């Protein structure tokens, strides 16, 4: 059974710093890996999707990398801002399945200190 782990569970950094969030998964046979953002009382917002054949994806100040063989992904946030404060979740799905088989981690709660 696929297990997704995110460490640390919570992280606080001063505004302007660059930071890295970590995600690891036990079964390297994945189809996609996605990073989501969740704000309190709100749903999930998809940030980046990396297909298993890709090594990284970039969107603005966000860069996500994928090392499938080692079962790891990182989300890099450059020049952090208070508005980046949220819980960040990663999720993977197995080959031949789509969004219906997403396995999520428990998330990293990020606080950017002004």
Single out the residue of 91, 92, 110, 112 in contact with other proteins (rule: CB under 8 A): 91
Single out the residue of 2, 62, 74, 104 in contact with other proteins (rule: CB under 8 A): 104
- Per CB under 8 A, does 41 bind other proteins? yes
Single out the residue of 65, 84, 105, 110 in contact with other proteins (rule: CB under 8 A): 105
- Per CB under 8 A, does 100 bind other proteins? yes
CA–CA dist 95, 97 (Å, integer): 5
> Torsion-angle region of residue 52: left (phi > 0), alpha (psi -120 to 50) or beta?
alpha
Instruction: Give the SS3 label for residue 71.
Output: coil
- Per CB under 8 A, does 8 bind other proteins? no
- E strands in 39-107: 44-51, 56-59, 62-67, 72-77, 86-93, 103-104
Single out the residue of 21, 33, 86, 89 in contact with other proteins (rule: CB under 8 A): 89
């Amino acid at each position: 059974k696929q297990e997704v782990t995110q460490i640390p569970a919570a992280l606080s950094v001063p505004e302007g710093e660059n930071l890295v969030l970590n995600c690891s998964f036990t079964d390297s046979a994945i189809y996609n890996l996605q990073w989501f953002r969740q704000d309190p009382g709100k749903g999930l917002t998809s940030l980046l999707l990396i297909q298993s054949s890709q090594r990284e994806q970039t969107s603005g100040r966000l860069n996500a990398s994928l090392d499938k063989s080692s079962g790891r992904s990182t989300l890099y946030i450059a020049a952090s801002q208070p508005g980046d404060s949220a819980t960040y979740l990663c999720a993977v799905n197995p080959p031949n399945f789509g969004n219906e088989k997403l396995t999520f981690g428990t998330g990293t709660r990020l606080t950017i200190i002004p």
